[in-house]
Amino acid sequence: MASPVTSPDEGAFKTPKNVRVRNFSSNGGTPVTIPASPFMKKLGCGTGVNVYLMDRAGKVNASPWAVKKINSKCATKQLAVYQKRLNQEAKLLKGINHPNIVGFRAFATAKDGSKCLAMEYGGEKSLNDLIEKRKEDGLEAFSAAAVEKVALHVARGLQYLHNEKRLLHGDMKSCNVVIKGDFETIKICDVGVSLQLDENMKVSDPKAEYIGTEPWKPKEALEEEGGEITDKADIFAFGLTLWEMMTLAMPHLEMLTYSFCVPEDSLEDSFDEDAYYERLGTRPALDAEALGSSYRRMVELFYLCTEEEPKKRPSASQIVQALEGNSQTPSEVIVVD
């Protein structure tokens, strides 16, 4: 007689279940239900995290949320680091309220102990996604008007972070700017590696580590430099973000640009690592003449923001003032100390 077929071990596979959790800010408040990852559309990923779209169609007049979760595949040692960053981001985001920064919605703990940060979502794509799509479509730089609109709105967000919250964003780049529609809304996201600033706009904790992302790091944030980190670190990365929109490239990685003359599988072999590291913290080349006169204001702003000496870079407030004064070029308004 054949042996009866037994069901698989219960621990081998479990059907994902919704996680019923409470809002980060509540004390016994209204529970928030966060679906398990397989039941949400994946929007993207970052270092140690995945971001999902949480559809709240069952709620009256409820807009969807973007939910950031720790990637469970991370090594055990890394999990603690990413958990700490997500905790920090939730606490910071909860105290932030600005139209150019994504809003806090909830912070949840699943039954397995994993954290879920729910944030505002409005059908956005990252600026990096738009850059990649434009490149795939064989298009050139974004219009000067689009670059200027992004510059103004991101600068307003940075002005709020620096002046009102005394926070350095710490990882400005196209991936951390989200766009809705045809630049209807422009918001900064991902404040998980932010650093506290003192009254002099310097990072207040001398032991605090500037994380950033390598191609966007200013000279003073590179390990071998060990310079003083101020609000101007964000300004350098902000300038490179505008450069991305005008070149459709990543800073200092032009040697990896696909060429029909170079087989795709040999791109890694052609990468000049020494040249790349020499360029970090410097201003990448920009063909202003090819862009044309309509880009003059943005080219000038890019040059001002990417000065190697931090004190020569404008503050976020000065950038906002320059861009809101449409009849003037940035250098006529910005007075560098």
The arrangement of strands across the sheet holding 104-109 comes to: 41-46, 49-54, 65-70, 115-120, 104-109
> What amino acid is encoded at 15 in this protein?
T
Spatial distance between the Cα atoms of 66 and 47, rounded to a whole number of angstroms: 16
Quick check: 313 and 281 in contact, CB under 8 A?
no
Beta bridge partners of 41: 53
Q: Which tokens belong to 113?
A: 């102990």
Are 276 and 284 contacting, i.e. CB atoms less than 8 angstroms apart? Answer: no
Catalytic residues: 171
- Cα gap 319→157, rounded to integer Å: 11
Q: For residue 231, which of 311, 329, 111 has the smallest C-alpha distance?
A: 311
* Contact (CB, 8 A) for 166 and 185: no
Cα gap 66→71, rounded to integer Å = 15
Report which DSSP code applies to 252.
T
Q: Are 119 and 44 in contact (CB under 8 A)?
A: no
The answer to whether the beta carbons of residues 9 and 35 sit under 8 Å apart is no
Per this entry, what is the length of the chain?
337
157 contact partners, CB below 8 Å, separation of at least 6: 98, 100, 101, 187, 188
